[in-house]
Amino acid sequence: MDERILVQGNEAVGRGALAADCRAFFGYPITPQNEVIEWFAREFPKHGRIFLQSASETGSINMLTGGAMTGVRAMTSTSSPGWALMQEGLSNLTAAELPCVIVEVQRGWNTTRHAQTTYKSATTGGGFGDYRTIVLAPASIQEIHDLLQLAFYLADKYRNPVVVLSDAILGQMMEPLELKTLDFGPLPDKDWALKGKAGHKDGKKRFTPIAYGMIPTRKYPTLLDFLGAYEKKLKEMEKEVRYDAYQLEDAELILIAFGYVARISQEAMFRMRAKGLKVGMIRPITLWPFPAQIVKEKAATGASFLVVEDNLGQMVDDVKIAVEGRAQIDLVSCLARHLPGEEGAIYPEEVIKKIEHLLKERGK
Amino acid sequence: MKKEWLTGTPRLWIRAPVPIVFCPGCQHATALKIMCELVDEMGIEGDTILMAGVGCSTMSAMLVDFDAGITAHGRPCDAASAIKRILGGKSVVVTWQGDGDAFAIGTEPTLHAAARGEKITTIMVNNGNYGTTGGQLAPTSIMGQVTTTSPEGRSELQGYPIPVAELLANLRGVAYSARGSFTSSANYQRTKRYMKTALQKQIDNVGYSFVEILATCPPNWGLSPKDSLKWIEEKMIPEFPLGEFKNVDRIT
């Protein structure tokens, strides 16, 4: 029977990883995700799994590279400054086609508190390579747990790292969590994994360089062979769009928000609906690939959009691309926080204020 | 001198058409040949995994006929630590690195893997400069050494070379640390023995093992292969003495 417990978002990361049969975790302390590494340090050895503390986030991501080379499910977690340090490693993981999961519990600027400031670097490939990773954005503790499992599945399916973009608020808050193991279907064998020649059916060498194409292999004799194959993979990954839509049918104004801000925006939407205003909402679950199609379709019906995000405006660019200039787009950014210090957050009242202003502007 | 060990190709050296870009007179290749021989002789071909970093060492991962990977510059010890902890058992995990890879950009992973007493082996080929990029100053360039980024010779301006084998020998997690060279037949045999002992320490699950090998880099040193050997003997060995600096059967 599935168990129901009350946990913090950061602990839900570990619970999800365990359900996904993750075998190894590498991490370095950084606020606000310390509960993640502490959970793994405490619980993973009990389950015969590997926990190893690195000497930096650069260390974590490169340990993860080695872990992923063995073919087991492996992961790391960090927060924004550590995320920045991991970008070279993330580039290499994509270039070596190594499946793994990276949890980024976002904090903002030079504070240790919540924000959504790594949207851009996560969705556009923040490292040196020409790559993308699927980015999953949970908005609840249950979803952190469930998306962790999906992340491992998608990583294995595409042999590409997957990023789970949490934030300080989701990480710190507590909610009920239903523990369940999700089955997404069969996956290909990891015949490429390093085990030593004795571990391979054919007894032949396996080779996992971080530079496919530059270093000739049977699979990718040249650089363009690799890039061509990677481009095909990107096209496949682009089909993995996931989002939640709320009351879009008659919506004249559509909010777009992810993560903790989606919870706030949803509250604003409910209050507007209670007043009879036609406000809907799209919550991207995959930030890359971005749910552009639904945005485009709604733009064609004459709806306008209000993007709400706790940064100076990052996701709003993806919305602009999606609507192709055919709809009005407005933004509620971190400048609408309720307090001027790092403890400030975007509250429903500010979103409502903006909605009312926009609707009034249009004489409705 | 016996001919076979200078010219023979080990069984586990891949002859496939991969670009072999070791320069004439380079002893990095010599060290790798010994590694191939040892893996064969010790019967660990099926269990060995080699992690190369970036530099001349990168090629080693292509050339050996056993499982291998290439990591980010300086990061083989991070990857190797993870691999060894995950696979455990009979696996033998070796990092194959240059001096810049292991102890400039890779100082953190190398030092911490050693301190943790990871059951892995690092072979650090020390040619006193960055070979692949054209001979820049390395953490192991000796005082007075002219490189493309110390054109007046290394001085107190750049600071002093790092004696890696001695430094690592001070760490508790280290089971074995030695430095060898190939400047003579005797040194060649001794270095091979060091490498074998290092691998054996890992197989015996004692702790981290490390061998530094002083190796020629004729093109970047601007010397003939023969003069390069002389340079190691006269300049490098006085700075980096050969021998075993730590050899224990149990970490205490």
Amino acid in the structure at residue B169: A
Does the domain formed by A244-361 have CATH 3.40.50.920? yes
Pseudo-torsion of CA A284, A286, A289, A292, nearest 10°? -10
Within 8 A of A216 by CB-CB distance, chain B residues are 18-19
Cβ of A70 and B83 within 8 Å? yes
What's the whole-number average pLDDT of chain A? Answer: 96
For B29-88, write each residue's pLDDT tens digit: 999 999 999 999 999 999 999 999 999 999 999 999 999 999 999 999 999 999 999 999
Taking the Cβ of residue B78 and every Cβ of chain A, the question of whether any pair is shorter than 8 Å is answered with yes
Joined tokens for residue B153: 């010779």
Taking the Cβ of residue B63 and every Cβ of chain A, the question of whether any pair is shorter than 8 Å is answered with no
* Domain B24-247: CATH superfamily, name plus number: Thiamin diphosphate (ThDP)-binding fold, Pyr/PP domains (3.40.50.970)
CA B119 to CA B140: how far, in whole Å? 25
B163-175 average pLDDT score: 98
CA B90 to CA A77: how far, in whole Å? 30
Containing B59, the helix (H) or strand (E) segment is helix B58-63
> Which pLDDT does position A215 carry in this prediction?
79
Q: Which of A95, A94, A101 is nearest to A17 (CA)?
A: A101
> Which pLDDT does position B249 carry in this prediction?
97
Helix extents (H) in chain A:
9-19, 34-43, 57-69, 80-85, 87-95, 119-123, 141-158, 168-172, 223-237, 259-274, 292-300, 315-323, 348-361
The pair phi, psi for residue A173, each rounded to 5°, is: -80, 160
> Which pLDDT does position A212 carry in this prediction?
82
CB neighbours (10 Å) of residue B19? 8
Q: How far is B107 from chain A (nearest CA, A)?
A: 11
Nearest to B82 among A52, A58, A89 (CB): A52
A20 CB burial (10 A radius; 0-12, 13-18, 19+): buried
For A172-208, write each residue's pLDDT tens digit: 999 999 999 999 999 999 999 999 999 999 999 999 9
pLDDT for B1 beyond 50: no
Chain A residues whose C-beta is within 8 A of a chain B C-beta are 23-24, 26, 50, 52, 54-56, 58-59, 62-67, 69-70, 72, 74, 88-89, 92, 96, 194-199, 203, 205-211, 215-216
CA B59 to CA B175: how far, in whole Å? 28
CB neighbours (10 Å) of residue A314? 21
Number of H helices, E strands in chain A: 13, 15
Q: Contact at 8 Å (CB) between B205 and B176?
A: no
B88-92 average pLDDT score: 96
Containing A216, the helix (H) or strand (E) segment is none
CA B175 to CA B202: how far, in whole Å? 9
- The share of chain A scoring above pLDDT 70, in percent, equals 99
For A223-276, write each residue's pLDDT tens digit: 999 999 999 999 999 999 999 999 999 999 999 999 999 999 999 999 999 999
> Which pLDDT does position B19 carry in this prediction?
64
Categorize the per-residue pLDDT at A2 as very low, low, confident or very high, splitting at 50, 70 and 90: confident
Joined tokens for residue A127: 């490292």
Q: CATH for A3-179?
A: 3.40.50.970
CB neighbours (10 Å) of residue B160? 13
Joined tokens for residue A167: 């934030």
- Give CA angle at B182 (B214, B64), nearest 5°: 85
CA B130 to CA B139: how far, in whole Å? 10
Non-local (6+) Cβ contacts of A87 within 8 A are: A121, A126, A127, A128
CB neighbours (10 Å) of residue B140? 26
Residues in chain A, total: 364
Non-local (6+) Cβ contacts of A186 within 8 A are: none
Cβ of B86 and A74 within 8 Å? yes
Looking only at the bridges linking them, the beta strands covering B129-130 and B136-137 are antiparallel
> Which pLDDT does position B17 carry in this prediction?
63
pLDDT for B144 beyond 50: yes
A128-147 average pLDDT score: 96
Cβ of B78 and A59 within 8 Å? yes
Q: Contact at 8 Å (CB) between A55 and A81?
A: no
CA A261 to CA A137: how far, in whole Å? 11
Q: How far is A210 from chain B (nearest CA, A)?
A: 6
Q: Contact at 8 Å (CB) between B173 and B114?
A: yes
pLDDT for A312 beyond 50: yes
B242-247 average pLDDT score: 98
Categorize the per-residue pLDDT at B204 as very low, low, confident or very high, splitting at 50, 70 and 90: very high
Q: Contact at 8 Å (CB) between B62 and A77?
A: no
Joined tokens for residue B240: 């980096």
For A148-181, write each residue's pLDDT tens digit: 999 999 999 999 999 999 999 999 999 999 999 9
B115-125 average pLDDT score: 98
The pair phi, psi for residue A174, each rounded to 5°, is: -115, 140
Q: What is the largest CA-CA distance in chain A?
A: 74
CB neighbours (10 Å) of residue A281? 24
* Interface contacts (A, B; CB < 8 Å): 128
Amino acid in the structure at residue A171: G
Taking the Cβ of residue B101 and every Cβ of chain A, the question of whether any pair is shorter than 8 Å is answered with no
CA B232 to CA B240: how far, in whole Å? 9
Within 8 A of B88 by CB-CB distance, chain A residues are none
Within 8 A of B89 by CB-CB distance, chain A residues are none
Taking the Cβ of residue B79 and every Cβ of chain A, the question of whether any pair is shorter than 8 Å is answered with yes
Looking only at the bridges linking them, the beta strands covering B92-98 and B48-52 are parallel
A91-95 average pLDDT score: 96
pLDDT for A284 beyond 50: yes
Taking the Cβ of residue B108 and every Cβ of chain A, the question of whether any pair is shorter than 8 Å is answered with yes
pTM for the complete prediction?
Answer: 0.96
CA A15 to CA B18: how far, in whole Å? 45
Domain ranges of chain A: 3-179, 244-361
> Which pLDDT does position B9 carry in this prediction?
85
Mutate to test the interface with B, among A87, A207, A212, A220 (most CBs of B within 10 A): A207
B149 CB burial (10 A radius; 0-12, 13-18, 19+): middle
Q: Which residue of A has its CA nearest to B17?
A: A216
Domain ranges of chain B: 24-247
Nearest to B86 among A50, A207, A208 (CB): A50
Least confident of A262-271, B16-25, B211-220: B16-25
Tokens 């280290």, located at residue: B174
Do the two domains A3-179 and A244-361 of this chain adopt the same fold?
yes
pLDDT for A364 beyond 60: no
Q: How far is A91 from chain B (nearest CA, A)?
A: 10
Q: Which of A243, A239, A237, A242 is nearest to A281 (CA)?
A: A243
